[in-house]
Chain A
Amino acid sequence: MTPLLDVQNLSVKFPTRGGIAEVVRGISFTLGKERLGIVGESGSGKSMTGRAILRLIRKPGQVTADRMRMGEVDLLAASEKQMRAIRGSHISMIMQDPKFSLNPVMSVGQQIVEALRAHDRRTSKVAAQTRAIEMLDAVAIRDPERVMTLYPHEVSGGMGQRIMIAMMLIPDPEILIADEPTSALDVSVQLQVLEIMDKLVRERGMGLIFISHDLNLVANFCDRVAVMYAGRIVEVCEAGRLHEAVHPYTVGLLNSVPNLQNPRPRLEVLKRDPAWRDAPSVVASS
């Protein structure tokens, strides 16, 4: 079976005054109808990987790869016009903070309807309205008719992120990239939003790339986890077996989290080994 997404030797580079900064250094992975988690610290290149797939990296940034295909479509060779047709309707992305990614001067309803009609002109305004309400209902928003008329500043963070999820899922994409979808939210709301996202992704048989710095969260909501360090994948493991991880970086990350149930007088601090940086990237193919 051809995977939904097939990426070979992806690199992202930015020219800087001090030379070329290679933020993603030759990573390879495939994505089927599954949930793939990408974890790492800030600066490990995880968000850049997500953006590179959607070709959202602007010049002077350079994206190179031996292969980057979505099904039969070559994402590297696609024109900007073709990419616009792919973004949203085939591959969609949920960004970190709903405060910055929702349009502040459009009502929630208008934005969702726009997202739908941008990809499917045949849907009438009335039908789009109905589907938007259904979608808001699917992301567990109470009284969706009322929420349709609200503006982003009138909704809470958790609600804003559920609206984002509704907007990204309404064109029925095959792949969803969620870039830290809950890190701007409270713990108590975080789980609710993730559970909704998880349920919809599974019901619709989509592929999910879940980018996060939170290893434990990723382990709970993904099938496979790829751990990134300095632009490379250092370890890939099944989410359920994360605690059997062997790479010292993964182990270090796991141990640096304060745990309520197992208190320790001192938290373990990562001792970074320069060799991690130079080790070849692990291939994350399913």
Chain B
Amino acid sequence: MSALTIEGLNVWFGEGREHVFAVRDLSLDVEEGASYGLVGESGSGKSTVLRAITGLVPTWRGSMSVMGEALGVGRTPAFYKTVQMVFQDPYASLHPRHTVDQVLSEVLKLHGFRDIDARIDQLLVDVGLGPGYRFRYPHQLSGGQRQRVAIARALAPDPRILLLDEPTSALDVSVQAEILNLLTDLRARHGLTYLMVSHDLGVVGHICERIAVMQSGEIVETLGVEEMRRLEAKHPYTQHLLDSSLRSARG
């Protein structure tokens, strides 16, 4: 079954002379349990796709469906129980004056859970922090620990699909490795579906099985991770991305 299907998605911003299409005629299909990557440079519209799915951008046309259910203009609580998002910058995405406990219990309350206490402890164990971090404020946590809290918050409603918007680009490589391992483990343990946005082909290649390359709002090519490793890209832009990524990674 498809976890996420998008057909003919257009997203635009502004009116009149300012009118611009951020995403043009985009279609993709993510199987349940799969991990799908969107790559492209800044401004290519990859984050906008995630924002349109979560309902953060109202100006879109096309059809999107999650677990077989079509999405309209608004989003229901049931949608947010199925789909959750992890944002790029853990320094900006956590409320600076809320403790970890407040952050997580708010989500759990919103979704009508009763055993909040036990769930918070379990979530913190799941993301490798442990209950000892429960009453800390974000400024008492490192970047990697904050991103673990952000992931715990996304996991709180027990979602089926996680949208990951450059979850490690604000972190050091050593911390990035820990978070990527955590994401791999969580997916295996909870049978999650991932849609990940990144500009780092190494990261996408590590997490995702299928990759769509975006340029100026359009998908120019989709390829499997094996094809990408064998550098079998057909579109010149994908070749250029692969080339620059390999050259910056090796001598």
Contacts and interface: CB of A to CB of B under 8 A. Distances in A.
A213 B228 CA distance: 26
B184 A261 contact: no
Interface stretch (A29-37, A66-74, A123-131, A264-272): A264-272
Given A214-B173, A219-B251, A253-B174, A269 B181 contact: yes
B250 interface: yes
A252 B175 CA distance: 11
Interface stretch (A76-84, A110-118, A186-194): A186-194
A258 interface: yes
A268 B177 contact: yes
19 contacts: A42-B143, A186-B42, A187-B245, A188-B41, A189-B41, A216-B248, A217-B248, A219-B251, A220-B247, A220-B251, A253-B173, A257-B202, A258-B176, A258-B180, A258-B205, A260-B205, A267-B206, A268-B177, A269-B181
Interface residues of A, number: 32
B165 to A, nearest CB: 15
Nearest to A191: B244
Contacts of A186: 41-42, 199
Contacts of A187: 41, 199-201, 241, 244-245, 248
A190 B248 contact: yes
A134 interface: no
Contact of B249 (A189, A253, A259, A267): A259
Given A187-B248, A258-B205, A261-B229, A41 B241 contact: no
A265 B240 CA distance: 26
A256 B238 CA distance: 25
A216 B174 contact: no
Contacts of B248: 187, 190-191, 214, 216-217, 220
A191 B206 CA distance: 22
Interface string B171-195: 0111111101100100000000000
B125 interface: no
Contact of A191 (B177, B200, B247): B247
Contacts of A216: 248-250
Interface string B211-251: 00000000000000100110000000000111011111111
Interface in A244-286: 252-253, 256-261, 263, 265-270
B246 A269 contact: no
Contacts of A217: 248
A187 B178 CA distance: 22
Contacts of A259: 202, 249
Interface of B: 41-42, 143, 172-178, 180-181, 184, 199-203, 205-206, 225, 228-229, 240-242, 244-251
A263 B244 contact: no
B240 A188 contact: yes
- Do most interface residues of chain B lie in helix, strand or loop, or is the interface mixed? helix
A178 to B, nearest CB: 15
Nearest to B40: A186
A240 interface: yes
Nearest to B242: A260
A263 B177 contact: no
Contacts of B173: 41, 213-215, 253, 256-257
Contacts of B205: 258, 260, 263
A190 B205 CA distance: 20
Contacts of A3: none
Contact of B206 (A190, A252, A263): A263
B249 A188 contact: no
A262 B158 CA distance: 33
B201 A252 contact: no
A42 B175 CA distance: 10
A-B pairs, 6 with minimum CB distance = A256-B177, A258-B206, A267-B177, A186-B41, A258-B202, A41-B172
A144 interface: no
Contacts of A42: 143, 172
A260 B177 CA distance: 14
Among B173, B177, B181, B242: residue with most chain A CB under 10 A:
B173
B172 A261 contact: no
A157 interface: yes
A189 B248 CA distance: 11
A217 to B, nearest CB: 6
Among B177, B181, B229: residue with most chain A CB under 10 A:
B177
Contacts of B200: 187, 258
Contact of B181 (A215, A240, A266): A266
Given A190-B244, A191-B244, A216-B250, 4 more contacts: A42-B143, A186-B41, A257-B249, A258-B176
Nearest to A257: B173
